[in-house]
């Protein structure tokens, strides 16, 4: 539970008992992290007591687990607190007024429309962007699509429309799409095929185990290979930061010991996705970037894209991450929403979209498909499921099939709990706005 420790009348401290809940923040195990939101000052005496109290709080969290865990159960309890502290409490005093502008029609395949055409109360949205423009935050862009039309497109903190963002782990969900295309095109026969059928080089040299012959493509897609690969366990030999230091990533991954039978336990394993990208590459005879360009990005009219990595070492193509603009990230979301179609053209099969975004396993108790998260949002006692691509720092593509909606966020809150703010914005701003009366 939360314990409020009064220090002065104008300053209270909220401390969360670490044995009850772990707040992810990579690299700060066991340490307190203090959030002090710049610009927060006490509301006038006439403001509601609750808002006055919230505004005077400095929030201290005890942290024990890696930030790379994208959305553990703790989100259910902290997300509302974040949004209230950052925004709702700020409504009690003046701020810069937000002026909405309809997204531009750039001839890039997007249809645009005016938010005010949606027949919804936009009050919360206007207040949101007033606060984002007025207060320090690490959100770089916010885009919202409804009915195949881009209706909100805002860039913050010096970001611009054609600027590419490091997608981090959101790249994994796009690798899932590329896997489906590889199957559609016949380069890969089935997700149930063993990876050894396509991965001819390298082959395991150490920790030889017959169970390695049973690892399938599906196991990589569901992060259940059984290899000792867990990004959220620093003792794991396959934890991504350890692998980054190795000369030959592929050989090192294949040489990891087995700790589970394939398909029995899902652990968040970035290196398994590197193997998957390499399988697509070897099966098709194309590097992953060229494969993506020909079969995914060109059909989506995406040309401002690149692949890279934060490591200073030379990285194999299959180990790199995507850098894309926010508009192009939204195209990926719309492709999922439209069951594999973009502007009437089938890019990846409807069967794959359904199969890949349907839960197959759980990671930290959250439903997980083929490299796609299923995130529940509770609004007015109703649950809305988002098919989501999630990346460190606040890179999110969220698809809400029931609402015909796609939301995109980019940000610079790397290895910080602040990268969860977009979930609060969805839960407390966008979803209530567009589900009123549903």
* 293 and 174 assigned to the same domain: yes
Instruction: Count other Cβ atoms within 10 Å, centred on residue 260.
Output: 15
Buried b (16+ CB within 10 A) or exposed e, 290-312: ebbbebbbebbebeebebeeeee
Q: What is the CATH classification number for the domain harbouring 333?
A: 3.40.710.10
* 174 and 294 assigned to the same domain: yes
Q: Which helix (H) or strand (E) holds 7?
A: strand 2-8
Instruction: Supply the pTM of this predicted model.
Output: 0.83
> How would you classify residue 157: left for phi > 0, otherwise alpha for psi between -120 and 50, otherwise beta?
left
Angstrom distance (rounded) from CA 58 to CA 431 = 28
Q: Which of 42, 63, 92 is the endpoint of a domain?
A: 92
Instruction: Answer whether residue 351 is part of any domain.
Output: no
* 266 and 378 assigned to the same domain: no
Instruction: Give 350-356's long-range contacts (Cβ < 8 A, gap of 24+).
Output: 352/177, 352/180, 352/181, 352/183, 352/184, 353/180, 355/180, 356/176, 356/177, 356/179, 356/180, 356/221
Instruction: Give 382-387's long-range contacts (Cβ < 8 A, gap of 24+).
Output: 382/435, 382/438, 384/431, 384/435, 386/426, 387/336, 387/357
pLDDT in single tens digits along all 438 residues of the chain: 333 333 332 332 322 233 322 323 333 333 333 333 233 333 333 333 333 333 233 222 223 333 444 454 444 444 444 544 555 444 444 456 899 999 999 999 999 999 999 999 999 999 999 999 999 999 999 999 999 999 999 999 999 999 999 999 999 999 999 999 999 999 999 999 999 999 999 999 999 999 999 999 999 999 999 999 999 999 999 999 999 999 999 999 999 999 999 999 999 999 999 999 999 999 999 999 999 999 999 999 999 999 999 887 889 999 999 999 999 999 999 999 999 999 999 999 999 999 999 999 999 999 999 999 999 999 999 999 999 999 999 999 999 999 999 999 999 999 999 999 999 999 999 999 999 865
* 158 and 121 assigned to the same domain: yes
The secondary structure of the chain in percent helix, strand, coil, rounded to multiples of 5, reads 35, 20, 45
What is the domain extent for residue 36?
Answer: 2-92
Instruction: Answer whether residue 346 is part of any domain.
Output: no
């Amino acid at each position: 539970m939360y314990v409020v420790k009064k220090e002065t009348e104008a300053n209270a401290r909220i401390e969360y008992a670490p044995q009850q809940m772990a707040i992810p923040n990579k690299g700060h195990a066991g340490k307190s992290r203090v959030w002090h939101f710049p610009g927060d000052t006490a509301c006038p005496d006439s403001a509601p007591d609750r808002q006055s109290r919230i505004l005077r709080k400095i929030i201290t969290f005890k942290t024990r687990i890696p930030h790379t865990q994208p959305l553990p159960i703790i989100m259910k309890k902290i997300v509302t607190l974040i949004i209230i502290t950052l925004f709702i409490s700020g409504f009690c005093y003046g701020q810069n007024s937000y002026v909405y502008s309809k997204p531009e029609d750039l001839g890039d395949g997007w249809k645009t429309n005016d938010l005010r055409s949606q027949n919804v109360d936009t009050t919360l949205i206007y207040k949101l962007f007033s606060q984002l423009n007025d207060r320090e935050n690490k959100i770089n862009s916010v885009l919202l699509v409804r009915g195949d039309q881009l209706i909100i497109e805002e860039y913050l903190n010096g970001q611009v429309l054609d600027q590419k963002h490091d997608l981090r782990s959101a790249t994994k969900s796009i690798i899932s799409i590329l896997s489906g295309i590889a199957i559609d095109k016949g380069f890969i026969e089935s997700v149930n095929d063993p990876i050894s059928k396509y991965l001819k080089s390298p082959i395991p040299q150490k920790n030889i185990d017959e169970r390695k012959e049973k690892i399938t493509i599906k196991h990589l897609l569901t992060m259940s290979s059984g290899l000792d690969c867990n990004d959220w366990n620093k003792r794991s030999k396959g934890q991504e930061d350890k692998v980054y230091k190795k000369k030959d990533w592929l050989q090192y991954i294949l040489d990891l010991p087995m700790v589970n039978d394939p398909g029995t336990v899902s652990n968040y394993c970035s290196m398994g996705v590197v193997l998957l990208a390499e399988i697509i590459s070897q099966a098709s005879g194309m590097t992953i970037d060229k494969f993506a360009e020909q079969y995914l990005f060109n059909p989506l009219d995406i040309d401002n894209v690149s692949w890279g990595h934060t490591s200073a070492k030379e990285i194999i193509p299959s180990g790199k991450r995507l850098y894309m603009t926010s508009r192009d990230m939204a195209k990926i979301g719309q492709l999922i929403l439209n069951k594999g179609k973009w502007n009437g053209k089938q890019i990846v099969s409807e069967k794959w979209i359904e199969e890949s975004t349907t839960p197959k396993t759980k990671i930290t108790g959250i439903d997980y498909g083929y490299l796609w998260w299923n995130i529940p949002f509770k609004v007015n006692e109703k649950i809305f499921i988002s098919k989501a691509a999630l990346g460190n720092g606040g890179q999110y593509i969220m698809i809400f099939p029931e609402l015909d909606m796609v939301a995109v966020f980019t940000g610079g809150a790397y290895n910080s709990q602040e990268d969860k703010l977009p979930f609060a914005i969805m839960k407390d701003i966008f979803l209530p706005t567009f589900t009123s009366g549903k």
